Structure 1
Amino acid sequence: MKLATLKDGSRDGQLVVVSRDLKTAHYATDIAGKLQTALDDWHFLAPQLQDLYDALNAGRARHPFAFDPRQCMAPLPRAYQWADGSAYVNHVELVRRARGAEMPPEFWTDPLMYQGGSDDLLGPCDDIVCASEAWGIDFEAEVAVITGDVRMGATPEQAAEGIRLLMLANDVSLRNLIPAELAKGFGFFQSKPATAFSPVAVTPDELGEAWRERKVHLPLTVWWNSKKVGSPDCGTDMVFDFGQLIAHICKTRNVRAGSIVGSGTISNVDRSKGYCCIAEKRTLETIESGAPVTPFMQYGDAVKIEMFDAQGRSIFGAIDQVVAAPA
């Protein structure tokens, strides 16, 4: 099924069920007013949401209305946790090579991960507000999952059973703030502003055969100022699957319902697939010619991120954002 959260003036919005073709929706208020409520009691409430979803797709829902992604908040507008991995080690290797740094061998066996801000997540069409263009504004197109409860010490197989929903993410980075933060030895903070998510979150069964090996085996397409810049396959070159990423978090703690775990920037070894973040393009330019040429985003720039199934139908709807100065 497909779920979204509509803006209603509150912090958590209103949960709706969205049709498979993303054209209509139906309020889920009688079942769960917000997504976190559904996640907290998933095994009881999810079947009821599924029944409403089936009725909506069959034209039997009582009060359907036109679905407008511009009215969406993030599916989970504020989450108990937002942990972002770096499952595409090719991306990490390129970035380190460009600055002449060795690639530690453990990066291929132990996932990199940082904990981002989860109290203010952006809707798919919300502006990327940044106080300065000089900070190096960059998009990062990713896939993310929302979990149920997963116990401490869970294996990757057990952790994968906690995956409830999938969605797309734009994990915005301020590249020119990153070096000074990493030099402190304490990781990202100011260089990682609010993350945006796709209009809808979907259950894994919606992906059909494209969901296997705990990965999404479909391309993720990115347009920058209406120009297609990348369409790498999410299943290719993903060194750590979502079960492994969740298990990495679970090594020393429980993961609770309403946690979001990201894949990191999608990146393929095949350069013809393009890029999902500007930093990777600049890295390749540095490796090839000694210096980057492509600039970071400026005010007024637009980024669009979307995934299509084998029949060319949008699965999650599009993240469609514009970079803006503070009001």
Structure 2
Amino acid sequence: MKLATLKDGTRDGQLIVVSRDLRTAAIADQVAPTLQRALDDWRFYAPQLLDLYDALNQGRARHAFNFDARACMAPLPRAYQWADGSSYVNHVELVRRARGAEMPPEFWTDPLMYQGGSDDLLGPADDIVCASEAFGIDFEAEVAVITGDVPMSVTPDDALKAVRLVTLVNDVSLRNLIPAELAKGFGFFQSKPATSFAPVAVTPDELGGHWREGRVHLPMLVHWNGKKVGQPDAGTDMVFHFGQLIAHAAKTRNLRAGAIVGSGTISNKDAKRGYCCIAEKRCLEMIEHGEARTEFMKFGDSVKIEMLDEAGKSVFGAIDQAVVPLHEAAGA
């Protein structure tokens, strides 16, 4: 089934069920008011939401309305956990090659992961707000999963059983702030602003055969200012599957229902598939030409991130955002 969160003037929004073709939706308040409530007792709420989903797809849902992705918040507008991995080791290798650094062998066996801000997650059409272009504004197209409760020291196989929903992410990065932060030896903070999410989160069964071995086997389409710059396959070259990423995050702690775990920037070894972040394009330029030639995003730029099925239909809806300066942002 497909779920989303409608803007309703509150911090957590209103849970809605969305039809398979993303054309119609129905309020789910008779089942659960928010997605977090549903995740907290998934075994109880999921069958009821599925009944509503089936009714919606069959045209039997009462008070169904036209679905508008721009009216959506992030599926979880604020979450108890947002942990982003780096499972496409090709991306990490390119970054290190571009600066002449060797690739530690353990990067192929032990995932990288950082803990991002989860109190202010952006919807699919919310602006990317930044105080300065000099920060080096970059998009990062990723897949993410939303989990149920995960016990400490879970195995990767059992961790996969905790995946409740799958969605897409734009893990915005401020590249020019990263070097100074990492040099302090304490990780990302200012260089990782609010993360953006696709309008719809789907249960793994909705993906059919495209969900296997803990990976989503579909191309990630990325358009920058209306030009397609990437279509790498999310299942190809994903070294660590989501079960491994979740198990890594839960090695020394429990994860509670509503935890979000990201794949990291999707990257294929085949450079002809394009890129999911500008930094990777710049790394390829540095390796080939000795210098980066592509600039980061400017105010007024737009980015669109989406996955289509084999019939060309959007699976999660699109992340479609513009970059705006802080002084022009709503509420500034």
Question: What is the TM-score when the length of structure 1 is the normalising length?
Answer: 1.00
Q: Which SS does the other structure have where 2:264 is aligned?
A: coil
Aligned partners of 2:54, 2:103: CA distance in 1, in Å? Answer: 49
1:14 alignment counterpart: 14
Q: Is residue 90 from structure 1 mapped to residue 90 from structure 2 by the alignment? A: yes
| C-alpha separation in 2, matches of 1:306 and 1:157 | 28
CA distance in 2, matches of 1:62, 1:289: 60
Counterpart-to-counterpart distance in 1, 2:251 and 2:226? 42
Q: RMSD in angstroms over aligned alpha carbons?
A: 0.4
Q: Deviations over 1:237-264 (max 9, x none)?
A: 0000000000001110111101000000
The separation in 1 between residues aligned to 2:119 and 2:250, in whole angstroms, is 21
1:16 Cα shift?
Answer: 0.2
Residue of structure 1 equivalent to 2:165: 165
Superposition pairs of residues 183-198 of structure 1, within 5 angstroms: 183-198=183-198
Deviations 1:245-302 (A, max 9, x none): 0000111011110100000000000011000000000000000000000000000000
Partner of 1:61: 61
Secondary structure of the 2:145 match is strand
Report the secondary structure of 1:265's partner residue.
Answer: coil
User: Residue type of the partner of 2:296?
Assistant: F
Q: Which residue of 2 aligns with 1:284?
A: 284
Q: Deviations over 1:178-214 (max 9, x none)?
A: 0000000000000000000000000001100000001
SS in 1 for 2:16: strand
Equivalent runs, 1:78-227 vs 2, <5 Å: 78-227=78-227
The equivalent of 2:72 in structure 1 is: 72
What's the counterpart of residue 294 of structure 2? Answer: 294
Instruction: Deviation per CA, 1:71-102: give whole Å up to 9, x if none.
Output: 00000000000000000000000000100111
Moved over 2 A (4+): none
Aligned residue identity for 1:160:
L
Identity of aligned residues (%): 77
One-letter identity of the residue aligned with 1:14: Q
Instruction: Show the counterpart of 1:247.
Output: 247
Q: Quote the residue 2:230 is aligned against.
A: 230
Classify the secondary structure of the residue corresponding to 1:164.
strand
Describe the superposition over 1:206-247 as per-residue Cα deviations: whole angstroms up to 9, x where unpaired. Answer: 100000001001100000000000000000000000000000
Cα distance in 2, alignment partners of residues 187 and 127 from structure 1: 25
Any unmatched runs of 5+ in structure 1?
Answer: none
- The 3-state SS of whatever aligns with 2:320 is strand
Matched, 1:268 2:268: yes
- The answer for the alignment partner of 2:47 in structure 1 is 47
Aligned residues: 327
What is the CA–CA distance in structure 1 between the aligned matches of 2:105 and 2:118, rounded to whole Å? 31
- Taking the aligned partners of 2:116 and 2:259, their CA distance within structure 1 comes to 11
Deviations 1:147-175 (A, max 9, x none): 00010010000000000000000000000
Unaligned runs of 5+ in 2: none
* CA displacement, residues 4-28 of structure 1 (integer Å, 9 cap, x when unaligned): 0010110000000000000000000
2:260 maps to a residue whose letter is I
Task: State the one-letter code of the partner of 2:96.
Answer: R
TM-score, scaled relative to structure 2: 0.98
SS at match of 2:31: coil
Partner of 1:319: 319
3-state SS of the aligned residue for 2:48?
A: helix
* CA-CA distance at 1:61 after TM superposition: 0.4
CA distance in 2, matches of 1:274, 1:249: 29
